[in-house]
Structure 1
Amino acid sequence: MAPTTQPSTAEIGAAIRARRLELGLTIEQAAASAGVGSESWRRYEQGKAIRRDKVRGLCRVLRWANLPASDGEAAARTPRADPNWDAATEWAGFSTAVAARHGEARARAFELGFQLVVAEQLEHDLEALRERPRGSHLGELSESWLANWLPERFVTHYEYELLYRLRAASLRIADRLASRTSQLTRCPAEALMLYVIVEDGAGEVNREVDYLDWMRELIDEDLDAVRTLFDRTVDIPVDHPWHYKNWFEIKE
């Protein structure tokens, strides 16, 4: 299992503080926007470890793509110019197409979720696995955000090839959603990635909006099956259609 905290240093803490001041935010404002307590934020600025499920919110508030390196490198390796995701992006045309059918809030949720899960987390983990011996998996990475989003039960099987196929599945979903294809997901992998993308993006765009109805509209009966993947009390044998070995089997 991936560690639950992100290691930090005094240098990283100083970079967090400097960036917060640069943006004109108080500790209370930054903490509230990131969904953490003020004391937690103070610990971050002191260089204390950061819970992995809080890293994304912290980076979003500071308009960073990732945390800084521990050598004092500027924290924003890829700074975000727009914290509200209103500026045009490479997916702007796609968002327009989705918004026309599903509404602006849902389109922005998918766009942001795709950016976070696929363009950042998935690409980051693919790059990290490329540098490790063949057969390495996400559970061995000390900085895998994606491991916290995919079903924990299969973490030792998330190797490079499987992640590569999950990326391809995500791209197919985006194309179908934009082109209004009636059958949006055609295998468990596509339903899983759509669930993760919408869940992640919806939480960042508007935490007060319930996207459950849209999720059920998109993947219908597969929603309950996807949720089962995250249920630790349910056994999923190898011949089960939602076992990771069968994720890419096309549904009849």
Structure 2
Amino acid sequence: MMIKTLSGKVAIVTGGSRGIGAAIALRLAESGADIAITYASRADSAEAVAQQIRAAGQRALAIKADSADAAAVRSAVDQAAAAFGRLDILVNNAGIFTGGTVEQVTLEDFDHIIAANLRGAFVASQAAAAHMGEGGRIVSIGSNLVGRVGRAGIGLYVMSKAALTGLSQAMARDLGPRGITVNIVHPGPTDTDMNPATTERADQARAAMAIPKYGEPGQIAGLVAWLASPEAQYATGGTYTIDGGTNA
């Protein structure tokens, strides 16, 4: 039986209706936290995750909020805190991918990925920090591509995650005096519906790994759960790469 290290805590996971976000939401619930998740369009998937959280014995709330819509993101955080009476943990997981070389992408592409992957995390963090006290946790999901850009055509995505890394480190300084930790997790190739482990590109990715296999969402969730736990109270401003040794 899993120890309830987060009993009595409340977490919000943005983009929690599928993939890594869903795994994080469920792992935090198994650790005893009540969970709010946000989703952009897949209400059925979000409600399915919420039902799994309730089955684990925790309260759950699914809130529609596109990460590129600053007002919706701020409202979602405030709704979660109001519904559960407190807010202890924020996981900035929501994001998008836009492919294309520097000659191909547009200014609109640039603005949209910054809005979704960086501004959304900033707004959520700012809103969450207003509700958090001593022991608050903010964890953002980045990408191991920040450390090693392995192919062409991913510049906008890498840029947004690199900026998110800098933001996380800066917020660790800002919020540390209040006892709130801020960290970022950089997953490598992880088997989800957006990045399946069964494609030709996946075979190429495995060739670059020290452990030649795709990660599982639950493995990313386990690291996030540790960062959210009391054991990680002295860990802040950190970047944690979990990518099977791709960047080694």
TM-score by length of 1: 0.30
Q: Name the structure where helix makes up a greater proportion of residues.
A: 1
- Which structure would you say has the larger RCO, counting Cα contacts within 8 Å and 6 or more residues apart? 2
| Greater C-alpha radius of gyration | 1
